[in-house]
């Protein structure tokens, strides 16, 4: 007889919520297959009374874990009305050219809004976002990270990138300029996925990132929150040697429901 699985160990697909407590507005960075559960948790943290659960969704790219939650906005589920979905140009064309995403647009469950590389977008008078291109597998769309600026502090969100050395921007400088940096932590090391060629699924390993960031000051390393951990990543277990390695090197692993004030 199999031992029942512990539901408390289940991890949601990575995304961030932006909440303005003054206006009551809420936005999502990425729209995951776990959208219903994530919206429920968001409502517990920042209750919303309007018919729209979020005031907008900003997508990083067209890999399935980052946009598939849009399915929950359709007629068969939430029946959303005109939810703004912000995309880069290739991401927009991908949604417009393929069902069921095209149906969400034609039925006006979502309305596509354009993003431009390195062009700041005011979400309201207090919060601004800036998408910036990062190198990542581009089968269907470009990939962006986001900088989110609030009244006092800023956050960096880079859930996916092929490698820090493949980017024409130094990640060390990005971290130093921000207050918190949520960075790609998909895999812990190169031996993590047996039978797969890791070159086919490029991401900077956590061990490589830790080594690269070792020259940063301790305060800067403390800004780093690894996000987007694959189900194979041993650092998901907070009691593992992998998780201990991250903390011993001065960085952190993002936790579901954690908050950072802007």
Query: The domain spanning residue 13 has which CATH number?
Result: 3.60.15.10
Q: Which residue range forms the structural domain that includes residue 167?
A: 152-262
Do residues 229 and 179 both lie within one domain? yes
Do residues 103 and 218 both lie within one domain? no
Do residues 62 and 175 both lie within one domain? no
Check residue 16 and give its pLDDT. Answer: 95
Check residue 1 and give its pLDDT. Answer: 35
Domain-embedded: residue 92? yes
Domain-embedded: residue 129? no
Q: Is the Cα torsion angle 172, 174, 176, 181 positive or negative in sign?
A: negative
Alpha carbons 206 and 208: distance in angstroms, whole number: 5
- Is residue 65 a contact partner of residue 13, using CB atoms and an 8 Å limit? yes
Do residues 207 and 90 both lie within one domain? no
Do residues 109 and 18 both lie within one domain? yes
Check residue 61 and give its pLDDT. Answer: 97
Domain-embedded: residue 1? yes
Do residues 168 and 224 both lie within one domain? yes
Domain-embedded: residue 262? yes
Check residue 4 and give its pLDDT. Answer: 46
Provide the domain count of the chain. Answer: 2
Token pair in block for residue 36: 């219903």
Check residue 3 and give its pLDDT. Answer: 44
Check residue 68 and give its pLDDT. Answer: 96
Do residues 163 and 253 both lie within one domain? yes
Domain-embedded: residue 139? no
Do residues 6 and 106 both lie within one domain? yes
Measured in Å, how far apart are the chain's first and last C-alpha atoms? 49
Domain-embedded: residue 143? no
Domain-embedded: residue 229? yes
Do residues 103 and 192 both lie within one domain? no
Boundary (domain end) residue, out of 123, 140, 168:
123
pLDDT in tens, the chain (262 residues): 344 455 555 678 889 999 999 999 999 999 999 999 999 999 888 887 766 789 999 999 999 999 999 999 998 888 889 999 999 999 999 999 999 999 999 999 999 999 999 999 999 999 999 999 999 999 999 999 999 999 999 999 999 999 999 999 999 999 999 999 999 999 999 888 887 777 788 999 999 999 999 999 999 999 999 999 999 999 999 999 999 999 999 999 999 889 999 9
Check residue 132 and give its pLDDT. Answer: 98
Do residues 49 and 89 both lie within one domain? yes
Longest dimension (CA), the chain: 58
- Is residue 124 a contact partner of residue 131, using CB atoms and an 8 Å limit? no
Domain-embedded: residue 128? no
Do residues 184 and 257 both lie within one domain? yes
Boundary (domain end) residue, out of 123, 139, 170:
123
Check residue 77 and give its pLDDT. Answer: 86
């Amino acid at each position: 007889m199999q031992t029942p699985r512990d539901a408390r160990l289940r991890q949601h697909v990575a995304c961030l919520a932006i909440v303005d407590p003054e206006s009551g507005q809420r936005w999502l960075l990425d729209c995951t297959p776990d959208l219903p559960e994530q919206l429920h948790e968001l409502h517990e943290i920042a209750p919303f009374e309007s018919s729209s659960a979020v005031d907008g969704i900003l997508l990083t790219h067209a890999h399935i874990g980052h946009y598939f939650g849009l399915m929950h906005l359709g007629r068969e589920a939430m029946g959303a009305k005109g939810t703004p979905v912000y995309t880069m140009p290739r991401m927009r064309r991908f949604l417009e050219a393929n069902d069921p995403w095209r149906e969400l647009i034609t039925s006006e469950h979502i309305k596509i809004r354009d993003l431009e590389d390195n062009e700041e977008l005011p979400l309201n008078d207090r919060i601004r976002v800036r998408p910036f291109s990062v190198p990542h597998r581009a089968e269907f769309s470009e990939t962006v990270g986001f900088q989110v600026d609030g009244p006092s502090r800023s956050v960096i969100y880079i859930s996916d990138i092929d490698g820090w050395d493949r980017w024409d921007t130094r990640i060390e400088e990005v971290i130093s300029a921000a207050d918190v940096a949520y960075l790609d932590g998909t895999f812990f090391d190169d031996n993590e996925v047996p039978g797969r060629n890791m070159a086919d699924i490029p991401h900077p390993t956590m061990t490589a990132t830790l080594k690269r960031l070792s020259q940063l000051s301790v305060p800067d390393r403390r800004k780093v929150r690894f996000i987007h951990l694959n189900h194979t990543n041993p650092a998901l277990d907070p009691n593992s040697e992998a998780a201990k390695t991250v903390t011993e090197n001065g960085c952190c692993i993002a936790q579901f429901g954690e908050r950072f004030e802007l």
